[in-house]
Structure 1
Amino acid sequence: MIAPLAAPSPSAPAKAPYPLVSVRNLCKHYALRAGWGFGHSVFKAVENVSFDIMPNETLGLVGESGSGKSTIGRAVTMLNPPTSGVVAFEGVDLAEQSGRDMRRMRQRMQMVFQDPYSALNPRMTVGDYVAEPLVIHGLCKTAAERRDLVAELFSKVGLDPRFMARFPHQFSGGQRQRICIARAIGVRPSFIVADEPIAALDVSIQAQVVNLLQDLQEEMGLAYLFISHDLRMVRYLCHRVAVIWKGRIVELAPSAALYGNPLHPYTRRLLSAVPVPDPALERARTRLPEVAALPDDPLAHELVEAEPGHYVARAALS
């Protein structure tokens, strides 16, 4: 299986002595009931997923809808704990932490959700929303200090501090996402799970939010798990990319290697579906056919190193 996967691309930060986040054999299963309560089955949303994220690194997680991307993001942050497997943050197994210890850990790891409006509390001003984690973690001693810090966070994400007294419905989608980012970075985390943070935004606003994430990474030394189905943005933002298919990672490589030489048929099919901004080229393109499911043999799902730092499911190499 995967033994350290810390193989960043040439554009990635210098290699650190240990991973910031280490995930090993993560599984998330859901029990399903048949009609009228008779019988039951198990839905395996995520099965034996392993990867590392180094400090200051952005790992992209891509795949079609329903492949298990968001499930992994929630399991890594323990919002929806995994059924089995290990999630270690800064060398600490999160499953073994008490409620009090986990609260302290959450200050170091935050999450930005896909739908900013659902993440915001419509009954709270956005200033109070951003200030809430500061109160929970005791990072401000006085109300004036808290107000000044929230104003600084608003400025950092490109919003006018005078908007602090407004409510979520008074903002656009891009502004709401900036508010959610301000809340996430307010507690000075070292790791953020960004779960499709640009999916609901216009193209121009997407670029602004992605550039904001990059600027914050450089300024604060953040590491990201960037979950997205937008392969163009993933190529632009991420140092390494993991491709997930039916709950399993089938390919993991530095961004340049994965886009330049995709080894798994599913990865090639995903890349063939990316639209090209040229009508003539788009009409001439050939879409790759549906990929057959992997066999049930566990060895077929095992990731092997086909090239330096480039891992792919064993079945794709046979």
Structure 2
Amino acid sequence: MRASDEPIISVRNLSKHYPLRSWWGGKGSVFRAVENVSFDIRPGETLGLVGESGSGKSTIGRAVTMLNPPTEGSVAFEGTNLSMLSAKAMRAKRARIQTVFQDPYAALNPRMSVGDYVSEAFKLHRPDMSRAERREAVAGLFERVGLEPRFAGRFPHQFSGGQRQRVCIARAIALKPSFIVADEPIAALDVSIQAQVVNLLQDLQAELGLSYLFISHDLRMVRYLCHRVAVLWRGRIVELAESDALYDDPRHPYTRRLLGAVPVPVPAVERARLAAESAAPASAIAEGGDLVEVAPGHWVATPPEDRP
């Protein structure tokens, strides 16, 4: 493996559990939101994370960035185990790890101009910058994400959803990070705007050498944007492969069912797909165990009795 192929993010056996309490106030069982998840993301790579609602996608995104630290396992960023860092050291690392959230309006402060919102990153991490330097840097960031610098004095409610997401992206790249978690960044946007935001993310990746963990339920957009895709089911990764390999040759029953749920514009094909889906028993999906490499770079959760 070449030095440039060393992963920028290395997740090993990550689990996130939440304690449950019974109705009478005593201690109850544990809800296992994510269980024993492992993956790597290389420099300049986009890893897609897909799965149905409640499968644990956003939980993984927050655990990887230490916004909600994992219960078990490790997250290494550029060779450093983030869970072992002090609060001060983690704050320094956050300049290199950023997040773009699903709802841009909720991410913005409605009482703060968008220019001040973006410049907050410089105030926290670059206190040596003067006000004029911050203003100039914000103007450059706005131009980079396709916004007029003169909009910096406006407030979030004066923008469209797509423009607000561009502001959030400008904030995310302000400190020149190397890794960004994009948590459903286009889900709240109009279809006509989604492609523009995805193209912006691609352009920034090429320009800045960014790595992404792209969390989404839009399977078509994931195939377009991501180099590799991990399929999450019930808090576990059941399949992980190169994008084309996973879409063209899905191996896990849940992956096939997930891809089969994507609507197609041909009514006859759609009717045949729905008929076949209704005929397949739900028990046909087996959770499986550890990931096994069934083809070069193609990993599938396979029950012990089915392993080679």
The TM-score bracket by the shorter chain reads over 0.9
Q: Secondary structure at the match of 1:136?
A: helix
Paired with 1:314 and 1:281, the residues of 2 have a C-alpha distance of 30
> Counterpart of 1:64?
52
> Counterpart of 1:82?
70
Is the contact between residue 265 and residue 316 of structure 1 (CA under 8 Å) also seen in structure 2?
no
Paired with 2:303 and 2:156, the residues of 1 have a C-alpha distance of 48
Q: What fraction of aligned residue pairs are identical, expressed as a percent?
A: 70
> Counterpart of 2:130?
142
Match for residue 43 of structure 2 among 55, 74, 92: 55
Is the contact between residue 114 and residue 196 of structure 1 (CA under 8 Å) also seen in structure 2?
yes
Is the contact between residue 133 and residue 186 of structure 1 (CA under 8 Å) also seen in structure 2?
yes
Paired with 1:190 and 1:201, the residues of 2 have a C-alpha distance of 25
Match for residue 31 of structure 1 among 16, 19, 39: 19
Counterpart mapping for 1:1-318 below 5 A = 16-138=4-126, 141-286=129-274, 288=277, 289=280, 290=282, 292=284, 294=286, 300-315=288-303, 318=306
Is the contact between residue 264 and residue 316 of structure 1 (CA under 8 Å) also seen in structure 2?
no
**Superposition deviation, residue 113 in structure 1:** 0.4
Paired with 1:39 and 1:16, the residues of 2 have a C-alpha distance of 48
Which deviates more, 34-43 or 24-33?
34-43
Aligned length: 302
Q: Secondary structure at the match of 1:36?
A: coil
Which deviates more, 19-28 or 131-140?
131-140
Is the contact between residue 294 and residue 301 of structure 1 (CA under 8 Å) also seen in structure 2?
no
Distance 1:113 1:124, change over 3 A: same
Structure 1: where are the runs of 5+ without partners? Answer: 1-5, 7-13
Q: Secondary structure at the match of 1:133?
A: helix
**Superposition deviation, residue 16 in structure 1:** 2.5
Is the contact between residue 108 and residue 189 of structure 1 (CA under 8 Å) also seen in structure 2?
yes
RMSD: 1.7
Q: Secondary structure at the match of 1:263?
A: coil
Paired with 1:77 and 1:276, the residues of 2 have a C-alpha distance of 36
Paired with 2:250 and 2:304, the residues of 1 have a C-alpha distance of 11
Structure 2: where are the runs of 5+ without partners? Answer: none
| CA shift digits 1:167-219 (9 cap, x unpaired) | 11111111111110000000100000000000011111000000000000000
Paired with 1:114 and 1:39, the residues of 2 have a C-alpha distance of 33
Q: Secondary structure at the match of 1:178?
A: helix
TM-score by length of 2: 0.94
